[in-house]
């Protein structure tokens, strides 16, 4: 089979490798769609993310779908949950498998991901897709799941005023989820014009450039948003999020910074009495994500602006890094 491995900064190589043999509790999957995530771009552009760095050639890709290749479920189309939790540590036993102390995550650290033609993966992490959800939609269930998890962390109430800072694919899906969940007013902030247009299509009431004056911000969000979701990963985005929140509000930080550090004015957060939550991937939300996608609550397909074959994985990452579109999909097996 063919697999794309990252050897260093921008060094993605296609190679022939053996088809993996499923171990106990695993199933062989033919991979049909893989989305390039912002975290993948950190790996590709920096050979590291947060406190993790590349230690050996790594197969990237954690937003994935495919078709089961063998066994009693052969031919079943599935979305692939990329997080293999241990199930026994304290966070797992408390219901926080996304915070597992021994988690293995596709395309991260020493765990190879989905940018290959075949993948052996735990059977219980393969979620059947309804006919109404395409393979591409199946790959997008992972970022949709992150958006749902962020919503949960925000404790958004019916009729709430919310803000979303950063309208990449997860930010856009979060806007759609917030609208579905009954947010009354959604103010979004995004520097790129095509993403501002997409934010309005996905349900934002207004989407402005983030370089907004304090007076204009007050006019837009009044005394502040009940919940602000930061999904950009920059210091300016964090600063704007703190400014846009109301006293007693919540700020949910979901962006991944290029440098493993987040800072903000303590006086702003303290005087407002803000509650700050951090997004760590997602918890058990795949069932909800599949239900929303199957119901057609919003369009997943509209996020996809570019498609590539596995042989063009390098150029695909180059296109994704320019951020001229929305979501780039790689299709290892047509």
Domain ranges, ordered by start, for the chain: 2-140+300-331, 147-278
Among the listed residues 333, 334, 332, 330, the one whose alpha carbon sits nearest the alpha carbon of residue 308: 330
Determine the pLDDT at residue 237: 92
Give me the pLDDT at residue 222, please: 67
On the question of pLDDT at 221 being above 90, the answer is no
Homologous superfamily (CATH) for 147-278? NAD(P)-binding Rossmann-like Domain (3.40.50.720)
What's the rounded mean pLDDT across residues 231-259?
91
Among 117, 126, 141, 122, residue whose Cα is nearest residue 59: 117
Mean pLDDT of 111-126: 96
d(CA 245, CA 55): 40
Question: What's the whole-model pTM score?
Answer: 0.92
Give me the pLDDT at residue 301, please. Answer: 87
CB 129 within 8 A of CB 78: yes
- pLDDT band for position 216 (cuts 50, 70, 90): low
> Is pLDDT above 90 for 124?
yes
pLDDT reading at 305 higher than 80: yes
Are β-strands 26-35 and 118-122 bridged in parallel, bridged antiparallel, or unpaired? Answer: antiparallel
**Mean pLDDT in residue range 219-242:** 88
Q: What value does the mean pLDDT of the chain take?
A: 92
Span 129-150, average pLDDT: 95
pLDDT of 40 higher than 70: yes
17-21, 129-133, 261-265, 276-280, range with the lowest pLDDT: 261-265
Fold (topology level) of 2-140+300-331: Quinone Oxidoreductase; Chain A, domain 1 (3.90.180)
307 strand-pairing partners: 329
Q: How confident is the model at residue 215 (pLDDT cuts 50, 70, 90)?
A: low
């Amino acid at each position: 089979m063919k697999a794309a491995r990252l050897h260093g900064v921008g060094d993605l190589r296609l190679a022939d490798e053996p088809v993996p043999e499923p171990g106990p509790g695993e199933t062989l999957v033919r991979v049909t769609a893989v989305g390039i995530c912002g975290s993948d771009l950190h790996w590709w552009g920096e050979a590291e993310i947060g406190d993790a760095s590349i230690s050996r050639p790594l197969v990237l890709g954690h937003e994935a779908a495919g078709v089961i290749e063998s066994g009693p479920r052969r031919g079943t189309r599935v979305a692939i949950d990329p997080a293999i939790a241990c199930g026994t540590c304290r966070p797992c036993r408390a219901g926080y498998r996304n915070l597992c102390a021994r988690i293995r995550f596709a395309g991260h650290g020493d765990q190879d991901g989905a940018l290959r033609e075949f993948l052996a993966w735990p059977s219980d992490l393969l979620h059947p897709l309804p006919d109404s959800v395409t393979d591409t939609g199946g790959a997008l269930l992972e970022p949709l799941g992150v958006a749902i998890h962020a919503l949960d962390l925000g404790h958004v109430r019916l009729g709430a005023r919310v803000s979303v800072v950063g309208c990449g694919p997860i930010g856009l899906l979060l806007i759609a989820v917030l609208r579905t969940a009954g947010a009354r007013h959604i103010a979004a902030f995004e520097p790129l014009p095509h993403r501002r247009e997409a934010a309005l299509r996905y349900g934002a009431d207004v989407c402005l450039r983030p370089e907004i004056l304090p007076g204009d911000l007050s006019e837009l969000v009044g005394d502040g948003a009940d919940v602000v979701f930061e999904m950009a990963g920059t210091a300016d985005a964090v600063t704007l999020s703190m400014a846009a929140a109301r006293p007693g509000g919540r700020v949910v930080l979901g962006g991944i910074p290029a440098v493993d550090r987040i800072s903000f004015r303590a006086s702003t957060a303290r005087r407002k009495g803000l509650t700050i939550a951090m997004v760590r991937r997602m918890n058990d939300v795949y069932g909800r994500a599949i239900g929303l996608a199957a119901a057609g609550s919003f369009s997943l397909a509209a996020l996809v602006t570019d498609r590539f074959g596995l042989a063009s994985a390098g150029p695909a990452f180059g296109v994704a890094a320019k951020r001229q579109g929305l979501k780039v999909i790689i299709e290892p097996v047509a």
